[in-house]
Structure 1
Amino acid sequence: MSKRAQVISLPARHVQKIDPQRPAAEQIASSLKAAILEMSLKPGQIISETEIGNLYGASRTPVREAFTWLRDQGLIVTLPSRGNYVSKLSVPEIAGAQFARASLEVAIAERLCEKGLPPETIQEIETNLALQHDLALHHDMEGTDNSSAFHTLDDNFHLALADAVGHRRISDIIQREKGYLDRLRFLSLRSKAHMAELATDHSNIFDAIRSGDKTASRRLVRAHLHRVRETLTQFSEENRECFEDE
């Protein structure tokens, strides 16, 4: 970890004025999480409670609450007598999360091939996929960055399938495991071609599940979730300083 504090500078979209009608800690945590996922706050970067409080015009209490939430999410770490840092990426944790997610989502696809999709889930996913393809088509046009919006639709697609199985804990597990992958997923969304590939993957997975094709569903889900490993390989080779020493 760097011992030298850096002056925190964030894009304006991450430093919105605190809405007094909503919990300040929740707003600060949400903004900082987005900044960490998009790498505006770099892995290993020190972040102080005082500086964050000044940045958002907030007192120490909500900032501490926000830091506690981010710590629980594995996005920051606190080192005794040294301060708070954006957590570095861990290759073993990423690989483990990818394996766990792929195993679970293959099982989800197989189960849905057997039981079918509820009409409301079909409608939700069809709307979601239409938006995904539209965002991919217009990504980077005239400076437009649709990464964050696409990331949300991506999450909602997978959670809609998980919820359709009917077991709430499945969605909770997926949410937890994807936290280890989110920064890499954001990196991949910088590419318009990759965003379009993901949208096509989602459409193909949905079509295979609707048709009850277990073999195709298994193959498509595994291939889709393997894409994050490709991003990991490239990014780790170019940005060794962002990763923990193994």
Structure 2
Amino acid sequence: MSEQKNTLSDAVYDLLRRAIIEQALQPGMRLPEDTVGDQFGVSRTIVRHAFVRLENEGLITTRRNRGAFVAEPSLEEARQIFEVRHCLEREVVMRLIERMPATGFETLEAHVRAEKAVLGKDGPVSIRLAGEFHTLMAELTGNAVLARYVSEIVTRCSLIIATFGRTHSSDCAVDEHLQIIAAIRAQDAERATGLMAHHLGAVADRAELDEEKPGIEAILSRYGRTLAG
């Protein structure tokens, strides 16, 4: 019985995580336990187990007497997450240059073909596959801890883009993925790490992390000038 409960909890966790990555569940959206349980045909206890895992990954937050909500990262948190991502993915690139598994390049290129197949056709799946490319690279290093950290931070970046990004801004440049693969294949560390840094910088730009949003004072001051005039 316990094994079945764990299996169901894993399934609910996977589905909710995917819905967040694909930006179907938007930041700030409430996640009532009973609604989630009814939709997936599971008990609230199983839903709670899934919520704990999602909260540990920073994907949802629970508020006392209000329940669970999709997380809304702050601008400062978003910037810090992208800083860490740069460090982690540079390490991934360096490790793959040193030792790529026998079928590693074929695996990455097959994934890029899947990305190309849905580009412009299925936005949510395109978002998910773009992130999974980076997770797949980390898995190919053979370092389970590194792969886990990259997976978590890539997912949180998807949430950040949903919070701060422009409309249609989350499509990840497929050609940049191909360029990174080519540089790793050529064992050109400088080019590969440079391409990855540029690529992640472009992702951060799409999230508009460098643009300060005007506060209410600045907004209202523009309208207040009409009174002064």
Shift of 1:146: 4.7
Match of 1:135 in 2: 118
Aligned-partner Cα distance in 2 for 1:204–1:154: 14
> TM-score, normalization: structure 1?
0.71
- Output the amino acid matched with 1:212: Q
Match of 1:217 in 2: 192
Pair 1:178 & 2:162 matched: no
Pairing 1:13-162 to 2, within 5 Å after superposition: 23-113=7-97, 115-136=98-119, 139-140=120-121, 145-148=122-125, 150-162=126-138
Segments of 5+ residues of structure 1 without an aligned counterpart are 1-19, 241-246
Match of 1:10 in 2: none
Contact kept, 8 Å, 1:184 with 1:228, in 2: the verdict is no
- Output the amino acid matched with 2:30: I
Contact kept, 8 Å, 2:180 with 2:196, in 1: the verdict is yes
Which string of whole-angstrom CA distances, capped at 9 and with x for unpartnered residues, describes residues 22-56 of structure 1?
93323333332333334433322333222322333
Aligned-partner Cα distance in 2 for 1:236–1:47: 30
Contact kept, 8 Å, 1:77 with 1:84, in 2: the verdict is yes
Aligned-partner Cα distance in 2 for 1:76–1:21: 21
Tell me which moved more, 203-212 or 44-53.
44-53
Larger radius of gyration: 2
> TM-score, normalization: structure 2?
0.76
Shift of 1:174: 0.7
Q: Go from structure 1 to structure 2 and tell me whether the alpha carbon gap of 1:147 and 1:80 turns closer, same or farther (over 3 Å shift).
A: closer
Classify the secondary structure of the residue corresponding to 1:78. Answer: strand
Aligned-partner Cα distance in 1 for 2:157–2:21: 10
Contact kept, 8 Å, 1:33 with 1:70, in 2: the verdict is yes
Shift of 1:186: 6.3
Aligned-partner Cα distance in 2 for 1:93–1:106: 20
> Identity, % of aligned pairs?
24
Q: Go from structure 1 to structure 2 and tell me whether the alpha carbon gap of 1:35 and 1:159 turns closer, same or farther (over 3 Å shift).
A: closer
Shift of 1:189: 11
Match of 1:206 in 2: 181
Tell me which moved more, 28-37 or 62-71.
28-37
Segments of 5+ residues of structure 2 without an aligned counterpart are 216-229
Match of 1:229 in 2: 204
Q: Go from structure 1 to structure 2 and tell me whether the alpha carbon gap of 1:237 and 1:215 turns closer, same or farther (over 3 Å shift).
A: same
Task: State the Cα RMSD in Å.
Answer: 3.3
How many positions carry a matched residue from both structures? 211
Shift of 1:21: 10
